[in-house]
Amino acid sequence: MDETLGRLGTAMARPCILVIEDDVPIRRGIVDALRGAGYDPLEADNGEDGLEMAVRMECDLVLLDLVLPRRRGLDVLTQLRRDRPTLPVIILTAQAGEDDRVRGLRLGADDYVVKPFSIRELLARVDAVRRRSPGRPSDVAEFAVRGGVVALDRCEVQFDDGSRMALSEKEIELLRYLACSRGRAISRDEILTHVWHLNPNSVRTRTIDMHIARLREKLRDDPTRPSIILTVRGKGYLFAGGEDER
């Protein structure tokens, strides 16, 4: 653990995958396969150490077992979605029940693989999740918008004229996700999945559009000609207003 944490903050040329799995043969097999496929794997054998590594280290994706000592996999996932909302997570589970899979997806997992699985399938899932999560950067605490600064940690917009506008928790989550994907058109389905943790195939809702409208109002973004949160016809929304991440 100490040796692994010594790598904190170092640049990694190859994509880094964190494997949180307590079964030694399974974990070693996954790590060896990832290394052979061109990844730079890290490993943890319990939920507590795995969560610490996932939060503090520059990993690109987490493979997370559900049944872990010291901290359950779903608890780790819940905390990760608070601390690193853009980090892709694939659940590894021997629990084949639909309820377990659905709960994991609703908590923010990007995909799941049911044990026993083939290494070929696992690598394909890793590749697929990384492809559909392009350019997911590290989280941000503050970023500039036209006329002010959004302070996510203080849940407010601070305008250049000295005034402030409070933001709700869900508005903060939505803004964070949009800002962390700056320059990329994000579909409503993706937002429903990763911000509301809902299955877009099973719900019909206008809540995203309503939240976008409220955010534009609070950010003083002209809804007739927005320059911060843009609507991309047929695709979704694109964040274009941040100029100076801090």
For 46-87, write each residue's pLDDT tens digit. 999 999 999 888 788 999 999 899 999 999 998 888 778 778
Question: Which residues constitute the domain of residue 108?
Answer: 2-131
192, 93: one domain: no
For residue 42, the domain's CATH number is 3.40.50.2300
113, 201: one domain: no
Domain count, the chain: 2
How far separated are the first and last CA of the chain, in Å rounded?
30
Identify the residue whose tokens are 């696992």. Answer: 122
Cβ–Cβ under 8 Å, residues 189 and 195? no
pLDDT digits (tens, 9 = 90+) for 17-34: 999 999 999 999 999 999
73, 30: one domain: yes
Q: Which tokens sit at 16?
A: 């880094």
Q: How many CA atoms lie within 13 A of 145 on its CB side?
A: 29
76, 57: one domain: yes
User: Is there a domain that residue 244 lies in?
Assistant: no
124, 82: one domain: yes
Output the CA–CA distances (angstroms, integers) from residue 216 to 103, 104, 114, 168, 222, in the order listed. 32, 31, 42, 13, 7
User: Is there a domain that residue 175 lies in?
Assistant: yes
91, 179: one domain: no
pLDDT digits (tens, 9 = 90+) for 172-214: 989 988 887 777 888 888 888 778 877 777 777 889 999 999 9
User: Is there a domain that residue 136 lies in?
Assistant: no
126, 230: one domain: no
User: Is there a domain that residue 246 lies in?
Assistant: no
41, 99: one domain: yes
pLDDT at residue 107 greater than cutoff 90? no
Q: Of 136, 46, 126, 138, which Cα lies nearest the Cα of 83? A: 138
- Please identify, among 131, 155, 176, the residue that sits at the C-terminal boundary of a domain: 131
Long-range pairs, 26-34, Cβ under 8 A, ≥24? 26/115, 29/119, 30/63, 30/119, 30/122, 33/119, 33/122, 33/123, 34/123, 34/126
154, 126: one domain: no
Q: Of 220, 211, 167, which Cα lies nearest the Cα of 192? A: 211
Which one of 22-26, 81-85, 126-130, 153-157 scores highest in mean pLDDT? 22-26
Q: Is the pTM of this model over 0.75?
A: no
